[in-house]
A = this chain, B = another copy of it.
Amino acid sequence: MAAADDDARAAAKRGIPPHSDFNAWYPAIVEIADLVDKRYPIKGMDVWRPYGWKAMKLIDQLTHTEMERTGHQEVNFPLLIPQELLERENRLIARLKAAREAGVDPSELRIEDEPEGFANEVYWVRHAGEHELEQPMFLRPTSETAMYTLFALWVRSHADLPLKTYQIVNTFRYETKQTRSFIRVREIHFFEAHTAHADEDDATRQIEEDLDIVARLMHDLCLPYLVNRRPVWDTFPGAWYTIAIDVLMPNGRTLQVASCHHYRDQWAEAFDISYEAEDGEHRHCHQTTYGMSERLLGAVVGVHGDDSGLILPPSMAPHQVVLIPVAAHTSPEVSDMV
């Protein structure tokens, strides 16, 4: 009891609010534990300090290991995407959304809705130096449009499939809601796997593999989690269906830390990603995506921390500490402490 009082006093001295007051504890601990510095002069864009960045890179390393185990290849696409590609994506998404609302197959609809999709969430680059750019560009919020433009060139024959790629890159969303370190940020440290398959079944098997990867990562991070197929209103508009992985945070709210999308052949049609099958026919690919971010670190911080501060699982702790009681039996004080 005396020791617990000491802990509480020490924590208060460092300015750590009680963990039970999670909405005060979380934003305080990410700075007190030297994970990030929030004093950078743009809202929602924190500076990663060495300790936080090391922890994040160790989580990334778990992901890289899983990607290698499952035969995904790492690529790196440009950050900037030409506006014309967004328009193509938005036409697709408007059509899929309308079809879903009407309860019909997207192929039955040919509409020319006002494009929407990500248009309201992206940062635009329209000027360089003193010039207005002929070709406006935006910062990727995610890389479907950038990647699928090249997938259409990379995939030729059934021998090129499955195409399993991923990247870990910075992505951007113009968040208007309140930002929170790792949980809702404007520059996102983003993992995105993109795959292309010969048919719907093979894409479905990819989703199963993704969920197996999630299970392994959550085991390594010691995080209990929920897997749910999202209801229609919460499905990514470009997806046939979305399976999301949530962690229950101490404030009683769920935090979505990963999502897997089955795209069927909808994007492949829009971006003309097709292959010559063994029977000589040309068919569109079926695609999936699997995304994660620094929310994994946010979940680790939130779920494992306590009144005294940060607690990290050994799989991604930058400092590995082993306590070895030495001749503890000879001293009651030492054995009490351990």
Q: Type the 1/0 row for A2-45, where 1 means its CB is closer than 8 Å to any CB of B.
A: 00000000000000000000000000000000000101111001
Within 8 A of B (CB), among A146-195: 146, 149-150, 153-154, 165, 170, 172, 174, 187
Let me know if A49 is at the binding interface, CB within 8 A: yes
The answer to whether residues A127 and B124 also contact, given A75-B50, A76-B53 and a CB cut-off of 8 A, is yes
| Chain A interface size, under 10 / 10 to 19 / 20 to 34 / 35 or more | 35 or more
Cβ contact within 8 Å between B129 and A120: yes
Q: Which residues of B contact A149 (CB under 8 A)?
A: 40-41
Chain B residues whose CB sits within 8 angstroms of the CB of A125 once the complex forms: 123-125, 139
Chain B residues with CB under 8 A of A79: 79, 170, 172, 187
Cβ contact within 8 Å between B127 and A80: no
Contacting pair A42 B75 (CB below 8 A): no
Contact assessment for B40 and A135 in the assembled complex, using a CB-CB cutoff below 8 Å = no
Question: What CA separation (Å) do A54 and B73 show in the bound complex?
Answer: 9
B residues within 8 A CB of A40?
A: 77-78, 146, 149-150
- Per-position 1/0 for A103-124, Cβ under 8 A of B: 0000000000000000111111
Chain B residues with CB under 8 A of A255 = none
Assess the A130–B139 pair: CB atoms within 8 A: no
Pick the contact of A150: B39, B73, B165, B187 (CB < 8 A). Answer: B39
Most chain B beta-carbon contacts within 10 A, residue among A40, A153, A154: A40
